[in-house]
A = this chain, B = another copy of it.
């Protein structure tokens, strides 16, 4: 019966785990963190915060540097922090190495919090994404081989560029997977 299982939830919990923050700041950090991959608007962030608050995963952080404030005055900043439940939920989200973590929508966000993710989960996510991309490559290459001649130059150019982009990401993943494996081997020996 849990709602809002989207990327935003993870992103917000992950960022608040690093440091308490208010909504406006959160959104900016979010959009620089995810830079090229995603951008969120206030219209989705604030409802999400409201929801997380109701679920008890985050709470208002009242440790303000200037506590003396006329009663009844609405403070203009609302700083949020993770609750114990929120930390637990974050760990749960960071532990799942399933489609949600390697499909296009989720991969960037999951990767962004790899520093807080267990090594074995990291590896499975990277491998999951790689095989997802390889599936895609194969199906597009097959389609290209089938329709080779009967397609205009722009369409071809687009497919070629798409293909190369994905091939590039696969090479990147290969390197990361290699590093992760080496690191795991180091830890076993050490």
Contacts and interface: CB of A to CB of B under 8 A. Distances in A.
Interface of A: 32-33, 35-37, 108, 111-115, 136, 139-140, 143, 147, 152-155, 157-159, 161-163, 165-166, 168-169, 172, 176
A158 B111 contact: yes
B162 A36 contact: yes
B155 A33 contact: yes
5 contacts: A32-B139, A32-B140, A33-B155, A111-B158, A112-B154
B111 A35 contact: no
What is the total number of copies of this protein in its complex? 2
Contacts of A154: 111-115
Contact of A112 (B37, B111, B158, B165): B158
A123 B76 CA distance: 47
A36 B152 CA distance: 18
Contact of A155 (B112, B161, B176): B112
A172 B169 CA distance: 16
A166 B112 contact: no
A9 to B, nearest CB: 19
A176 B153 CA distance: 12
A30 B108 CA distance: 26
B158 A108 contact: yes
